[in-house]
Structure 1
């Protein structure tokens, strides 16, 4: 049977017309349609920005690696090397008290390592600090 025969078989009383609803009565596109139509463009922009960002991170990592090697350090142990050097330096050592400085100066004068003039100058400097 072809289409014409099928429609003739259906009783017209059994059919109900629900009407046709237009997509948008104003004729323009809705916000949702506009948003969904922009997804491919936004995905492309995101992909390009993501690739640029990852490339920048790789560039900085390679640049830091080369600079560290050029300075004579191992890039993989740099943080530990710096922490060790700092711990061994006098930078973190507690500051000597005035009494300790004067005692050290007295010891240097007694052993004859510094002269009386150097002792007097260093003593006045220690008392000022």
Structure 2
């Protein structure tokens, strides 16, 4: 029992050191992520709300569009030069393959 009691201060220091290291790693990670978000032009404090709003306003959560709607969107993207002719052909082939 006395051996266990003599190890208690050492175990206490080891556990405290592990907790301190984890705390420092978490703080460094949060600061690094906030810097990266800020450098990309976003507010790190509102990022989650911004992403949720963008997702809700997008078509990502809407019902599946028809093949005609998807092909029409590809035609509009090609006409506006947003995608190259090769990208258009590849995307068109994927849409038709899913049909």
TM-score interval for Structure 1 and Structure 2 normalised by the shorter chain: 0.5 to 0.7
How big is the alpha-carbon RMSD for the aligned residues of Structure 1 and Structure 2? Answer: 2.6
**Higher RCO (CA < 8 A, seq sep 6+):** 2
SS of 1:72's equivalent in the other structure is: coil
**Does residue 52 of structure 2 align to residue 90 of structure 1?**
no
Task: Please identify runs of 4+ aligned residues in structure 1 that moved more than 2 A.
Answer: none
C-alpha distance in 2 between matches for 1:42 and 1:83: 45
Higher-Rg member (1/2) = 1
Which runs of no fewer than 5 residues in structure 1 stay unpaired?
A: 1-31, 106-121
In structure 2, stretches of 5+ residues that fail to align are: 73-91
Per the alignment, residue 36 of structure 1 pairs with 5
Q: TM-score, normalised by structure 1?
A: 0.51
User: How many residues of Structure 1 are paired with residues of Structure 2 in the alignment?
Assistant: 77
1:56 correspondence with 2:25: yes
